[in-house]
A and B are shown apart, each in its own frame.
Chain A
Amino acid sequence: MILPYLSGIVRFSRAPVTWLLVAINAFIMVVTYSDLMRSDRLLDEAFRDDYFVSNQGRFYAEFIEDNQKLYSPFLRKLASISVHGDQEKSRLLGNMALRNEKFLLEGPSYPFSGDQVARLWWAEKVEQFKKVQAHHPSFVWGLNIDHLGPFNWISYQFVHSGFLHFIFNMAFLLIFGGFLEIHWGGLLVLLVYLGSGVVGAATFILANGASLAPLIGASAAISGLMAVVCVLYWRTGVKCLYWLFIPLKGYSGFIHLPAGIIFFLWLAADLAGYFGTLDELGGIAHAAHLGGQASGVIVGASLLLIEKARGDKAITL
């Protein structure tokens, strides 16, 4: 296992902008935490209700059958199996339906055949679900089809879906942001963070259109910071932490690896995630990371060119 360490967690005095970004993320996490938990509990309950999920799947299957051109061959096949009475596939479709804004918007008033009591019950639940969404921090602060304003393009970068999501993102923000701030200044960190977040969101929307499922988290912004660092120091050995699962001295510790390797590993993980996961199961989230990385690469390469034009021989640590 190899993790980038760079300069480690730098002090506030050396990287005030990075720490400020962490502080904003933490503040929003604290402010939204109770709402987040309460809303998630309600949503979990809805999705544990087999009656709701299987009926949602049945209606989604019928919707797909009626609007075949809008859906992938995979979804059409799945819907065809579901409408012939396969309960398991109906449940699966019921879970996937959450990502399809057209179905969720038109479904409650759509003239589905079959059990009309179930249709009305489901439509009521969807309306309740939307009310919950209206107060859910991920939906209010995140970027989705109902929240596409300029505020959300920025705010989504500071909201997290849970404690672990927050911790991991902040650790990497401190490592890459702190390192970049020490060597290139806080303004660059701030611009790359916000800019990569915006580009990441744009990539996310371009990949599959705006969805009802919101985009949240600092991952795209941090991917941008990482990419800038890796491009600027792509041949230079940067400090990494390694542990090779051998509990003896010498098989864990720090090594210096070219930053290009870190970028390669990070990019490979996102490419594999993007191409290897079904869109219907959330594969498009990796698109935001890739967008952030692309913007970071452009910024890093531009800085390299500028430095070269100025006549600097090499960027070293």
Chain B
Amino acid sequence: MPTNRDMVIEDLTLVRVQQTRMEDGLGVDGTRPYLRMASPLDRLAATILDLFLFILPVSTVLVAPLKRHMIQALILQNEADFYLFTGLLLLIVSLVIVIYQTMMIWLWGATIGKMFWRLRVKGLWKEGNPSIGSAFLRALFWLLDCLFLFLPHLAIFANEKRRPFHDRVADTVVVTIKQHGVSSPGLVEASFVRGVVAALAVFTVTSMSITSIESYIESKNDEFLLDSMEDEGTLCKAVGKASEDWLDGAHEGDELATRLKVAMALFASGDVAVTCLRAEVDLYFSRKGSGDPLSYLAQSFVYADNADLSDRYLDRVCEMDDQSDACKMSHVISFWAENRWEDIDQLFQDMRDTPERYILVWAVRHFVRRENYPMAQAFLDRLDPPRALGSFIGVNRVKTYWGLHRREEARAAAAVAFDTLSSFDRVELANWLCSEELNLGCTQARQASCRELNRSLNASKDLLTDRKTALTYIRHFACIKSKKDKFENLKRRIHFAEANQLLDALALHDHQQMPKSRQLLWQLAKGNEFSDDYREEARSYLAKWATNARELNPLYQEWQEEPLHTRWRQRGQNLFDQYFRLKNFKMAWVVGQIIVHDQSVRKRELDRETLEDVIVAGFRAGKKKQAYQLLINEKGISSPISLMRSPASEDGFSAVMKELREEFSQK
């Protein structure tokens, strides 16, 4: 229903239509007055044209200097200036729009775009163009419509005279002077547009609500993210925190140098990321102005991925002071790249008295890796533990004790470490120690480390995503499983191809299908695409399940041809144990001699039980003289052990030793 006001408009229009007819864009159709109303699309096209022809070009030129200041403020992070210039910029654009529309409509009754599309803005209450006040009001509310994303303009499709809000406020109407105008919106069109507006309003409110909720959730996530970043920052904060209890008399008062050393030590122990070290060394250079050997050494770690650059930093370290510990450490790094392990051993031994903790940490890491546990222990003992290095020292203490065959001490150290380590480090240590325990046999499956590992893994029902942990888990499961436990069930939690193949082999063995099981294990052992840990595990099972020497010999051949490495030694031990178990003393003696030789070359003490078994194997293989030589050359075997550790040594080591001594000592 038209309102009273619309009827007034229509009456007034009728009078003027009759007066001005075609030139005003209004006309009559017989006796029935009508408005030749402008098409909404023409009005849209006129607006676009205004935008391109005047508003954008003039605005961009006028605000250009402000834009330049705004960018400067943004780069310099000067928020006050940024908001000031943004505000001025918006003000100028608004002024351009309002002045342009006001003047054009007041003077010519149309903007450039409207002229092009032959549209005119007409006042309702007087002849000619709208008054300046009316034009200004219209322009002002047109601008306000912009704030509502031009949604009020949709009234063009709903209002009977196609007058959006700004036309109604200014008492104006837009008409066309073309031959044909458009009629008032029909019921369907008006209802449709009102429906669209209502839908848009609902959509806007809903999406704003959803956005608010999402923003809230994101803000929570942001908090989480910030926490994580802080954690990463904590890595650097960790440096600050550790610096506080880093009693280092040599650099008292030099906070930056202490911070850098702390960062170096924490980086060496794996407690902070390289980004943290980089931040510290950047800070050091920016504050100090010039570098010293330590800062260049730190840079060589930061840019370790770029060999050329890293080497330049290492060279610079010694150019500055070739007697410094940092210079010796730079040689260590160079030798690491060249695998000159003995030279590195020597360098670290030369630096045994260094007060620099970062060097001590690297030394411990090096000697543990080299399985030189006495040296590792010596350096560990020098690391008077600041709290920040507690985890590193705890873990390496366990490994060192274990390497020195001081197993009870290793277990005790691990028990202490489990209480203090982070969950990640705890699982890692438990995994390592449990794996070592199980190398001794399934009797160790109830040790604390394995219980700890099992507890941690069972607490999380997720997949086992770490290959090594999964392997230890399988090995442990194989030891403790009851008859109704199935290997197949583990596949639900472990999704590595090699793990699945191992589980299949173990399941086949469980079902007494030995040949198929061996076939799968050999495939795994030979598969270059599988990880070394799983290939080694397959060889270990092949040795363990061998029923005769023929099945062991291919493993021996393979082992003999391979270069020395940690796994090679473990595999040799397995082979020796199995030959010994199968009473093939000849082959056990051959393998045993290689193991003994390797240990003597590396100046390591052989595990006492193995040594005794090697002597027994030599004795049984008829190599009595060599067995006796071994007996008298090795320390610590003077006291006989009468225990029967192996089913093969029926008469025990003490009897063998007695017989050997009787036969050869007289000679």
Contact = CB atoms under 8 A, between A and B. Distances in A.
Contact of B44 (A118, A246, A265, A277): A246
Contacts of B64: 271-276
Contacts of A242: 49
B285 A275 contact: no
Contacts of A272: 57, 60-61, 64
A51 interface: yes
A51 B303 contact: yes
B636 interface: no
Contacts of B137: none
Given A78-B75, A85-B283, A113 B312 contact: no
A117 B312 contact: yes
Interface in A250-281: 251, 255, 261, 264-265, 268-269, 271-278, 281
A282 B289 CA distance: 32
B628 interface: no
Interface string A141-172: 00000000000000000000000000000000
Interface string B27-69: 0000000000000010011001100110001101101110110
A117 B313 contact: yes
A120 interface: yes
Find the residue from B44, B285, B306 having the highest chain A CB count within 10 A. B285
B283 to A, nearest CB: 6
B309 interface: yes
B435 interface: no
B131 to A, nearest CB: 29
Contacts of B287: 85
A136 to B, nearest CB: 25
Interface in A60-100: 74, 77-78, 81, 83-85, 87, 89, 92
Contact of A275 (B68, B72, B291): B68
A245 B51 CA distance: 13
B289 A245 contact: no
B303 A115 contact: no
Contacts of A81: 76
A70 B286 CA distance: 23
Mostly helix, strand, loop or mixed at chain B's interface? helix
Interface in B486-536: none
B316 interface: yes
B299 interface: yes
A74 B76 contact: yes
Given A85-B283, A114-B285, A278-B71, A269 B45 contact: no
Given A87-B282, A268-B58, A244 B49 contact: yes
Contacts of A51: 303, 306, 309
Given A2-B52, A51-B309, A117-B312, A268 B303 contact: no
B72 A276 contact: no
A109 interface: no
A16 to B, nearest CB: 34
A276 B282 CA distance: 35
Interface in A108-140: 113-118, 120-121
Contacts of B299: 115, 117-118
A83 B285 CA distance: 10
Nearest to B56: A268
B290 interface: yes
A246 B45 contact: yes
A117 B68 contact: no
A317 interface: no
Contacts of B290: 113-114, 116
Interface string B283-322: 1011101110001100100010010010011001000000
A306 to B, nearest CB: 31
A121 B285 contact: no
A244 B306 CA distance: 54
A133 to B, nearest CB: 23
Interface in A273-293: 273-278, 281, 283
Find the residue from A244, A271, A273 having the highest chain B CB count within 10 A. A244
A280 B52 CA distance: 29
Contact of B41 (A248, A255, A274, A277): A248
B341 to A, nearest CB: 28
A1 interface: yes
A118 B308 CA distance: 12
A113 B286 CA distance: 9
Contacts of A244: 44-45, 48-49
A264 B60 CA distance: 12
Find the residue from A113, A117, A268, A275 having the highest chain B CB count within 10 A. A117
Contacts of B303: 51
Find the residue from A1, A114, A261, A277 having the highest chain B CB count within 10 A. A114
Contact of B312 (A2, A58, A85, A121): A121
Contact of B291 (A83, A89, A114): A114
Nearest to A120: B312
Contacts of A58: 286
Contacts of B286: 58, 83-85, 114
Nearest to B308: A121
B59 to A, nearest CB: 9
A115 B285 contact: yes
B53 A116 contact: no
Nearest to A271: B61
Contacts of B291: 114-116
A248 B42 CA distance: 11
A51 B310 CA distance: 12
A107 B309 CA distance: 20
Contacts of B289: 113-114
A273 B71 CA distance: 13
B115 to A, nearest CB: 12
Contact of B309 (A114, A121, A276): A121
A265 B57 contact: yes
Nearest to B309: A121
Contacts of A89: 75
Given A115-B299, A275-B64, A277-B68, A78 B76 contact: yes
B112 to A, nearest CB: 9
Nearest to A61: B286
Contacts of A264: 57
A84 B61 CA distance: 36
21 contacts: A2-B53, A74-B75, A74-B76, A89-B75, A113-B290, A114-B286, A115-B296, A116-B291, A120-B312, A244-B48, A255-B116, A265-B57, A268-B57, A272-B57, A272-B60, A273-B64, A274-B64, A275-B61, A275-B68, A276-B60, A276-B63
Given A51-B306, A117-B312, 19 more contacts: A51-B303, A74-B72, A85-B283, A85-B286, A92-B75, A115-B291, A115-B296, A116-B316, A117-B296, A248-B41, A264-B57, A265-B52, A268-B61, A271-B64, A272-B57, A273-B64, A276-B60, A276-B63, A281-B71
Which 4 residue pairs are nearest across A and B when measured between Cβ atoms?
Answer: A276-B64, A268-B57, A275-B64, A272-B60
Interface of B: 41, 44-45, 48-49, 52-53, 57-58, 60-61, 63-65, 67-68, 71-72, 75-76, 116, 282-283, 285-287, 289-291, 295-296, 299, 303, 306, 309, 312-313, 316
